[in-house]
Structure 1
Amino acid sequence: MYVHTVRFRDLRPPKSDTNLFSYHLNKLVKNGLVLKVDGGYTLNLLGLSYVDRVGTKDKTIQMQPKIITMLLIQNSDGDILLQRRIKQPYIHAWTLPYGTLGINDPSIILAAKRAVREKLRLQNQAMRHIGDCYIRVQADSHMLSTTLAHIFKFNCDDIATSDTMMWARPHKLREYVLAPAVEEIVSRGFFNDPFFFEEFDVSWSISKKAS
């Protein structure tokens, strides 16, 4: 889930029987969840769809669309904050910082504030709920993911860059491998409407890799 390609020896659990593990791995390949490539194994379309629905903590399967809060953040130079995804699907692609809504979040705005604290280490950040987006992603006619994103916007200069966080010029977003609908959401957020709702149908290639 947290890598694009993994070698057999790194994929096999410690102390597990090699032949037994090979049997189950080959079953995953045969059933279209895992693909054997140069350098090891990667997730195929069904595998990517599966990991998008499985809970990170409790490993339960979520059959409903994922609901997230997504942060559209600009600094005083007008740059947009991008965060590199570190897990599948869309691993290594650049996205807007986001957080998943949890059952214990008392409201959407408080869920967004929690995402800001956890992702950016900012406290009591003022923000505005500017719109909602429904994002459906298909790859080779296979439904890969569905997400309802509540978009929150604010300005901030107190965020340090790193290997997984960077500021990008809005007109240069196409130079990066972006997660689905990122460029469209940024553009829509600049309209400064009181509130908007958009639906995006996106085609995705599983061969995409961010640089």
Structure 2
Amino acid sequence: MIKISNEIILSQSMSKLVSPKHPIQHYIVTYLSTHESAHFIDMKPQKVATNLFTYHLKVLVENDFIRKNRNTYYLTQKGCGYIFRASQNHPELSARAITKAAFIIQDGYGKLLVRKRDIQPGINRWELPSGDILADDYSIELAARRICYDSFRFDPHVLRHVGDCYVTVLAETDEHRDEPPGGHMVEGELIKINGGKRQIVESKILLHVIRIETDAIVATSNLQWIEPLAMSQIPLAPAVEQIVTRAFFGDDFFFEEFTEQAT
């Protein structure tokens, strides 16, 4: 529940909002992070005045964190990028990569385990199961075992660290900032390519790719076993197919960098 005054603070400039720091703004983008879209009446808390909620909704629209499509609102790529960073405790724009362990898990029939995302960016797309590597994890293997137990309640007998990769997702932006010649990174967040098209780093992840074989995981509505050749038939999160292909047909250990466009 958000606890705020119903007084509108007009000192906040709509044109200079870097991140949704006001409690109402943060509430709105957080709500939309778990929905593809939502109506005004579904988002507005009962105890928040309509004019106050409308004001902050307009601030987010003016700053392109959300957009309106007929009678519903949805997160933009900029809003998705904010949610990604906020979920990793880095709400400000940054080129710093989040470090995770991602799992290529196969059963005895060779099927691949994929998980349905329940949060933006990429909500309802299918990804490889993964989890954060923490500062107090002594090794990648121990981190992978901890994540497996936390996620699936099992400790794999054998796991293999088969590769590392950076996955960067870029989204177009209308923001205008001074950029050096050649379109290099600006403050770790903006780049310029193709004769002036501006893009922003929506997310950047360093994945340590782990392979496991098991029949111990039971499928659910958000966790499915699929044939590897059927990956192209479902909506996938960025770089999933490339990572699996590289792990299946690459060297014993690989290092790659994948750059994808936000969808």
Q: Which string of whole-angstrom CA distances, capped at 9 and with x for unpartnered residues, describes residues 49-99 of structure 1?
A: 11110136xx55263211110000111111110000000111100000000
Tell me the C-alpha RMSD between the 2 structures.
1.6
SS in 2 for 1:147: strand
| Structure of larger gyration radius | 2
- Asked whether 1:180 is paired with 2:238, we answer yes
Matched, 1:147 2:179: no
Structure 1 residue 100 displacement after superposition? 1.3
Q: Would you say the 8 A contact 1:70–1:97 is kept in 2?
A: yes
% identical aligned pairs: 36
Distance (Å, rounded) in 2 between the aligned partners of 1:84 and 1:105: 26
Q: Does 1:116 align with 2:148?
A: yes
Match of 2:91 among 33, 44, 61: 61
Deviations 1:105-156 (A, max 9, x none): 2322222112111222212542111100101111233321111100000101
Question: SS in structure 1 opposite 2:42?
Answer: helix
2:223 aligned partner: 165
Q: TM-score, normalised by structure 2?
A: 0.73
Partner residue of 2:112 out of 76, 80, 85: 80
Please name the residue that 2:73 is paired with: 41
Gaps of 5+ in 1: 206-211
Structure 2 residue 69 is matched with structure 1 residue 11: no
Distance in 2 (alpha carbons) for counterparts of 1:119 and 1:10: 31
- Displacement of 1:47: 0.5
> Is the CA contact (8 Å cut-off) linking 1:71 and 1:152 kept in structure 2?
yes
Equivalent residues of 2:37, 2:73 under 8 A apart:
yes
The question of whether the paired residues in 2 share the 8 Å contact of 1:113 and 1:125 is answered with no
1:101 paired residue among 130, 133, 149:
133
Asked if residue 129 in structure 1 is aligned to residue 187 in structure 2, the reply is no
Q: Secondary structure at the match of 2:102?
A: strand
Q: Name the amino acid aligned to 2:66.
A: V
Distance 2:57 2:223 in 1: 34
Aligned length: 203
Q: Which secondary structure does the structure 2 equivalent of 1:190 belong to?
A: helix
4+ aligned runs moved over 6 Å, structure 1:
none
CA contact (8 A) 1:83 1:95 kept: yes
Q: Is the 8 A contact 1:71 1:96 kept in 2?
A: yes
Listed as ranges, the gaps of 5+ residues in structure 2 are: 1-32, 173-198
Q: TM-score, normalised by structure 1?
A: 0.90
